[in-house]
Amino acid sequence: MIKSMTGYGRGEASSDGRAASVEIKSVNHRYCEISVRMSNRYIFAEDAVKQAVKRRANRGKIDVSVVFTSTNEEDAIVSLNTAVAKQYFSGLRALQKEFDTTGDITIELLSSMPDVLRQERPQGNDEAIQALILAATENALGSFEEMRAAEGRELGEDIIKKLGSLDDIVKNILLRAPEVKDLYTARLKERIAALLDKPDDPLVEQRLATEIAIFADKSSIDEELVRLASHIEQFRKAVGNGDANEPVGKKLDFIVQEMNREANTIGSKANDLKITDLVIEMKNSIENIREQVQNIA
């Protein structure tokens, strides 16, 4: 089953006065790149969040935003640094004296100074906090995966239609290929006969057979068409395999490259304007499919 690399999901979890909210967004990327934004107070949970996301997503640039709030008294530890407060107080007194000014040095002023009052994180609560953040992450991943799967189904349907058009082009080339040999045989026979002015001469027929054999060997596109048809079938199976849990984006990307390689070879060997036109149309279809594959995880 194919999934889109783009997606969005949001999840929440709460318990014992604690609440976690997680948002996950992803866009196309060749590899799996996960970045997590969260308060430094809870940075201990970052790696666990990344691992949870990585288990559900293998490709894409994924941004995870974590917001954690708590009204739990166990999480509210405020420490007072009296040494720092004394230095601020002394410094403010010195400023008053230096500039001969007055003003109240209030407790409100001192407590607002950096590092005088500092909220600390109780170490014993890390496990409970991380568990809540992970619960919210899993909830977000649920909706994230649903969106990726829905977009993946749409991508799959569109690609299957494009494969149908590609099949039609291959069939048209298969119909045209024998005509190319017949046309070349007729033209070659006329040229050789004109040069020798002996259309019924056995040498003409011998020369003709040799030239046709050489032309057929150099311009034969049978193998390329067989391989191309095989690639199309492999691609169709990979897209339509609803029971597969493995990501298929990289595999489809490789198959598209092989399809394009065969198309280029057919174009270089065909020696026929109609087939050349069909190859141009074929390469355009393959490019459209390749663009869609870039969205698949």
Q: pLDDT tens per residue, the chain (297 residues)?
A: 789 999 999 999 999 899 999 999 999 998 899 999 999 889 999 999 999 999 999 889 999 999 998 888 777 677 889 999 999 999 999 999 888 888 889 999 998 999 888 777 666 688 999 999 999 999 999 999 999 999 999 999 999 999 999 999 999 998 888 887 777 677 766 766 665 665 566 666 676 666 666 665 566 788 899 999 999 999 998 887 644 456 789 899 999 999 999 999 998 887 788 999 999 999 999 999 999 999 998
Q: What contacts 185, CB < 8 A, 6 or more positions away?
A: 208, 212
Burial of residue 202 (number of CB atoms within 10 Å: 0-12, 13-18, 19+): exposed
Kindly indicate whether the domain formed by 7-72+123-144 is annotated with CATH number 3.30.230.10. Answer: yes
Look at strands 32-37 and 60-70 and give their pairing.
parallel
End-to-end CA distance of the chain: 10
Q: What contacts 180, CB < 8 A, 6 or more positions away?
A: 219, 270, 271, 272, 275
